[in-house]
Structure 1
Amino acid sequence: MHQQMKELPLVEDYGEGFRSRMVEWGGMIVSYETFPNGTDATPLFKGLPGDMCQAPHWGYILKGRVRIKTTNRDFVLKTGDVYYLEPGHVPVYEEDTEVLEFSPREAYQHTIDVVNKNIAASPGAKPLMSERHD
């Protein structure tokens, strides 16, 4: 399977540069996402262990800068970096950022279920990901 990154199915367009394109292949979520400068994911993970994302991710920073907060330390990923994020992290986007990321579907879905509940509790909320990923 293959597809142009920017032609993956658009899952959500939140406006202001926050877009999420995803597909599921072989039990993995393949996502191309853009985040505007200043996006802090901290409130999205409330209710998960440590109030942090519990899905592992492998990815590449196409453009931008993101600070990753963990229980033990903070570190920065920037344009051109490849990465692996263990469960237990929170991203804070310090520049307009584009990422290509791969995540196991089951762990990702569990995290997104909680994220969607938190988004739903906010005015004008939309879910980040539906159950369908084709």
Structure 2
Amino acid sequence: MTAATRNDVPVTLGGDGVEVRNMPIGGDMAVSYISLPRGTDMGPALKGLPDDACQCPHWGYLLKGRIRMRTASGEEEYEAGQAYYWPPGHVPLALEDSELVEFSPTDDFKQVIEHVVAQSG
């Protein structure tokens, strides 16, 4: 598939208001529609990955909300209306209810999702 609306994309991770919809969209890239309620800290779910951080790069656009991204070199905040690139080694914290559209390498993001699902089970 080379195009997809949010409703076309299956939920691959959900619970406590968090929703990640993810599917391949062409080549080795996947699209994700992500909803994070205010206060969502992905740090605990990422424990056990290298540097206890997401190791998948993401290119995206923050549709709604505000996110603080923690990295080894410090923190940076992103707000609705901004496009972004997050390199490997990041841990997100939702400062407000947030919605994002992201593009990521399919296999890399699948590994992160599988880890997060295993942490919650």
Q: TM-score, normalised by structure 2?
A: 0.90
Written as runs of structure 1 = structure 2, the 5 A alignment for 1:48-59 is: 48-59=49-60
Following superposition, which runs of at least 4 residues in structure 1 exceed 6 angstroms of deviation?
none
Q: Does residue 64 of structure 1 match 2:65?
A: yes
Letter in 2 for 1:8: D
Structure 2 match to 1:130:
none
RMSD (CA atoms): 1.4
* Equivalent residues of 1:8, 1:21 under 8 A apart: no
- Considering fraction of residues, name the structure with more strand: 2
Identity %: 40
CA deviation profile, 1:21-60 (whole Å, cap 9, x unmatched): 2221222120111110000000011111110000000000
Structure 2 match to 1:123:
none
Q: 1:40 to 1:108 in 2, by over 3 A?
A: same
Structure 2 match to 1:104:
105
* Equivalent residues of 2:40, 2:94 under 8 A apart: yes
The answer for unaligned runs of 5 or more in structure 2 is none
Structure 2 match to 1:31:
32
Q: Which has the larger radius of gyration?
A: 1
| Shift of residue 13, structure 1, vs aligned partner | 4.2
**40-49 or 107-116, larger mean C-alpha shift:** 107-116
Q: 1:117 to 1:63 in 2, by over 3 A?
A: same
Q: TM-score, normalised by structure 1?
A: 0.82
Structure 2 match to 1:76:
77
